[in-house]
Amino acid sequence: MAHESFLIDNGVLIEYIGKDNVVTIPDEVTVIGDEAFYGRDTITDLTISDNVATIGNNAFAYCSSLTSVTIPDSVTTIGSGAFGYCTGLTGIWVD
């Protein structure tokens, strides 16, 4: 997956603009911004890189096809509603 799928500014992932079903957050990202993936209902699997420390409010809200998420232990803050209304979510793994 190319970095062109992400709008990133100074380590903050502002928005995902790709169309992939399986998404891996790039290593340069330290913060997943508020609503960065809001409503992206084509994503099924998500892996967050080891450099991410913060997941913003509603970052993945309404990603209804999302079934699994892997969160590294580097994440220290998960915002309100970060995975709200992810109706297909069956598992969250913390590494």
User: What is the arithmetic mean of pLDDT over 29-36?
Assistant: 98
Supply the pTM of this predicted model.
0.94
User: What is the arithmetic mean of pLDDT over 32-37?
Assistant: 98
Q: Is the pLDDT reported for residue 1 higher than 80? A: no
Q: What is the DSSP letter of 36?
A: T
End-to-end CA distance of the chain: 22
Q: So what's the pLDDT on residue 95?
A: 84
DSSP string, 64-93: TT--EEEE-TT--EE-TTTTTT-TT--EEE
Mean pLDDT of the chain, nearest integer: 95
Q: Is the pLDDT reported for residue 50 higher than 50? A: yes
User: What is the arithmetic mean of pLDDT over 67-81?
Assistant: 96
